[in-house]
Structure 1
């Protein structure tokens, strides 16, 4: 481990109480984690060890549940990538196990609650996505994503589930029909991370040297923005073409798909459609209102082959952050932008959603403003905002939990703990850390 520029707080983890033994205060009585108390945090609760290693943790939107994904029943000499996956749900208030889900052929690497708490989704390394209804725990959908490291997240009203996969594609799955997968957007450049805004129909997509913000809404009926027949696609190498999605990037209408060779391709302009597709029907009003549209792109400030490995929005949606690392140097950085964007008008036939009132279509968008960038000698792979959006928790692979006040010249605090994933609770009173030994710890400010 590199020498840190600040004093590390070494924790005696074995002395931490487990389950509900540490709940001397109710969550409503607890003090939110802020820049004022971030230097005195402690792991106050250790949840029952139900996993051999934790790969992802997340709170439900109301903070009542905490989920962790990882693997279990893995022999000591086994390749962890072949170990069976498991998901555990706890009640945040008592630390009691609510349920476990174990139908995974590989470690679970991403978990997500829908904002209304009625759906829960998990992604494993084999590319299997499963979705359950809550509180019934009935499986309601199963999707095939790409194998490898990926991520999943619901949009603000739970009608869409976005995923990244091993090939760097982004897909947005409609939850309108829980019995079949229906990708409506596939990435045409490599993306590694994603996060939906909690207040707008926006998804942030992180890739090489940049983060893009896309407007994404539920598609019109019959599974698409436009009526495209895969059987009529007739260009490019190979056979067995399949249309995966439609996107509107600037003035370009982009049709994305694959062939039987596994190649990705796209149709770059509306003028070139006739050379690629027969029987193509386009409703321009529908495309303008519902097709995924890239509305802003920001460049990571660091030079080199930098990847946006993880993304997070603040609770009010006005800020988004990126945890980054350079493929060549191995160095990391943490970048934060302030966001004030103009969205396209909501279509007249769109279902009501809790979105802000859109500005006129001819208004000039205000691009996100860079408000903070912190460079680190170690790569960063995870990030989460506290409740007020002024404090970030982040980490890499050096077993150190770090905190930074947005825009400050140096990091605020660092704690040694072998974490693999982290997430702030919605009210900011807890910071969950998933550890490599299967433990989930809840960090907070001590009473008094």
Structure 2
């Protein structure tokens, strides 16, 4: 793991295998990583030093989540164990167990007092954060669960997976209060609206994105595409959605109220690999991962027209992230680089190289750093506007 401020300032060494999970603390001062070496490592973002090593897992770690107040974290992995750690003393404060197969998804409640986990055994488990004990077990799915989402108010949760059903659960009682069943097919994408009153699901092989009323448990709309939908994102205000990932190489914009397609973003040469919506919802950035098309495209949300291109990568672009303030973009690619772009000028303001391909990236909440990951590990790049320049 490397720390960058235009040029490399520090190197974070510790993991002995690929890193599978990364989480940044709410205040952006530290981060946690987990991977195939079965260790959760805590890093100081300012100095780049490892401050703690959390051991106990007996298999690769697949997921890491930090509590809303940053005082504790949770990890899950192939050993079917869901562990709770105290951030201050770097000790395990709880070790929820009970998964009979790999834990594939974990979510933390808005108030940070409980957690939900699910996996290949088709069971949802609710855990008490303080004691690490299992509060209840939610059964009903008949296949692996791949998605867990908690409502904005923390009173209910939704789960989905291979049995083609989204199940709505009451958090207080643990009872199933709704069942959203569409056609046969694994549900690969699910998103809950910002106000929690509806959600969207996509399953394959299917070309329909379904909208559901979370209170009534009834389908309230369908968005029919011309190709398989593998990605779905809901706008910040919940009035429109973006879908993509099909062989038709198109990103579609949909009006949530009418269910009609309002724009089609066409121009990619391969399946769209990355889609990011700006914080104000007025523009979109996309990339398709084609080795012959290394361009990041900027689109106007209202008109659906392409308004800019970011050129500079010499390999396929694999990830796009927009800074929380909407000023910068970060991209990673098969050319082993991470680039930072100025949204206003569409120009590269700095770039960094890694030893291997970087496949994902995300900004810290204050837009001052980018975390990127790939086969060689996790890298944290500091970014100080006005004090940067291209560097390796």
**TM-score, structure 2 length as denominator?**
0.58
CA distance in 2, matches of 1:150, 1:66: 21
Name the structure 1 match of 2:32: 67
List aligned pairs for 1:309-388, cutoff 5 A: 326=204, 333-337=230-234, 371-377=241-247
Name the structure 2 match of 1:193: 147
Conservation of the 8 A alpha-carbon contact between 1:324 and 1:379: no
List aligned pairs for 1:232-251, cutoff 5 A: 246-250=174-178
Distance 1:308 1:176, change over 3 A: same
1:203 maps to 2:168: no
Name the structure 1 match of 2:333: 416
Distance 1:44 1:432, change over 3 A: farther
Name the structure 2 match of 1:263: none
Q: Which is greater in Rg? A: 1
CA distance in 1, matches of 2:152, 2:378: 28
Query: Equivalent residue of 1:427, what SS?
Result: coil
CA distance in 2, matches of 1:371, 1:201: 24
List aligned pairs for 1:18-167, cutoff 5 A: 18-19=2-3, 22-23=4-5, 48-51=12-15, 52-72=17-37, 85-144=38-97, 145-148=99-102, 150-167=104-121
List per-residue Cα deviations over 1:153-202 (Å, max 9, x = no partner): 21111111111211233222223533x32334345354202233566545
**TM-score, structure 1 length as denominator?**
0.52
Distance 1:419 1:23, change over 3 A: closer
Aligned pair count reads 296
Name the structure 2 match of 1:362: none
Task: State the 1:443 CA deviation.
Answer: 7.8
Task: State the 1:131 CA deviation.
Answer: 0.5
Task: State the 1:335 CA deviation.
Answer: 0.9
Larger relative contact order (C-alpha < 8 A, sep ≥ 6)? 1
CA distance in 2, matches of 1:89, 1:396: 33
Task: State the 1:374 CA deviation.
Answer: 1.9
Conservation of the 8 A alpha-carbon contact between 1:57 and 1:422: no
What runs of 5+ residues in structure 1 fail to find an aligned partner?
1-16, 25-42, 73-84, 220-224, 226-245, 251-293, 341-367
Conservation of the 8 A alpha-carbon contact between 1:57 and 1:67: yes
CA distance in 2, matches of 1:370, 1:211: 23
Task: State the 1:92 CA deviation.
Answer: 2.7
CA distance in 2, matches of 1:430, 1:326: 36
Conservation of the 8 A alpha-carbon contact between 1:58 and 1:111: yes
Name the structure 2 match of 1:345: none
CA distance in 1, matches of 2:295, 2:55: 29
Q: Quick check: which one's strand share is greater?
A: 2
Distance 1:423 1:193, change over 3 A: farther
List per-residue Cα deviations over 1:311-351 (Å, max 9, x = no partner): 6779x7679998978479997632123599xxxxxxxxxxx
